[in-house]
Amino acid sequence: MITRILLVLCLLFSSVAHAAPVVMVFGDSLSAAYGLPQESGWVHLLEQRLAQEKFDYPVVNASISGETTAGGRQRIEQSLAQHHPAIVVLELGANDGLRGLSLTAMEDNLEAIIQACRHRGARVLVVGMRLPPNYGIAYAQTFQDTYLQLAKRHKLGPVPFLLDGFADRRELFQADNLHPTAQAQPLILENIWRPLRALLKH
């Protein structure tokens, strides 16, 4: 009986020791494949790319449509405890900007999320967003700069703009003019891939 228990414990510890490191995407509707089949979203495409490139990293999509940085701050500890990610792709803030929320509060929330991730040993990739000029030049510029300042402060590799290269192409957005279509998802992946790859280990 004791031998059997010891064998089970050895198998459990062996499983934990050899568990593949997890990439957790922690974002909003832009990462949750809003309006699309999940298999069309860039997070699913990322999982396929990792396999193609021989990186043994399972991908967890902890993104929620409509999420703000405040909501992300409230749930980050639970997500970290549940998934134990080695890398966190942090894609939040768009909803703060679209609702005209306090950018000081947004920065504080993102700062807290980054600190929580680093406290648990996870590397963080900060994904930046931009706002259209009708939100006011000063507000839009401060919003954009927040991501770069956070990345610089923590010496993190940033993605300057998730929708870089196609944000002005109306045909690549759904009817709401906010959420990218399935055809745009590979373009999002390319914007994410290079800085993310620098964090990966074979």
Give residue 185's pLDDT.
98
Give residue 8's pLDDT.
42
Helix ranges (DSSP H) in the chain? 2-17, 42-52, 69-83, 94-98, 103-119, 137-153, 185-197
Give residue 157's pLDDT.
81
Give residue 118's pLDDT.
97
Q: Where are the domains of the chain?
A: 20-197
* Count, residues in the chain: 202
| C-beta separation of 44 from 80 below 8 A | no
Give residue 5's pLDDT.
45
Please give the model's pTM, rounded to 2 decimal places: 0.90
Give residue 44's pLDDT.
98
Give residue 101's pLDDT.
97
Active site residues: 29, 176, 179
Report the distance separating Cα 82 and Cα 70, nearest Å: 19
List the CATH code of the domain at 20-197.
3.40.50.1110
Contacts of 69 (CB under 8 A, 6+ apart): 92, 93, 96, 105, 106, 109, 110, 113
Q: 158-189 pLDDT, tens per residue?
A: 899 999 999 999 999 999 999 999 999 999 99
Report the distance separating Cα 88 and Cα 60, nearest Å: 10
Give residue 62's pLDDT.
98
Give residue 9's pLDDT.
47
Give the chain's radius of gyration (CA, Å).
Answer: 18
Question: Could you tell me which of 63, 151, 161 has the C-alpha nearest to residue 111?
Answer: 151
Residues of the chain falling short of pLDDT 70: 1-18, 202
Report the distance separating Cα 197 and Cα 87, nearest Å: 11
Instruction: For residue 86, count other CB atoms closer than 10 A to its CB.
Output: 18
Give residue 2's pLDDT.
57
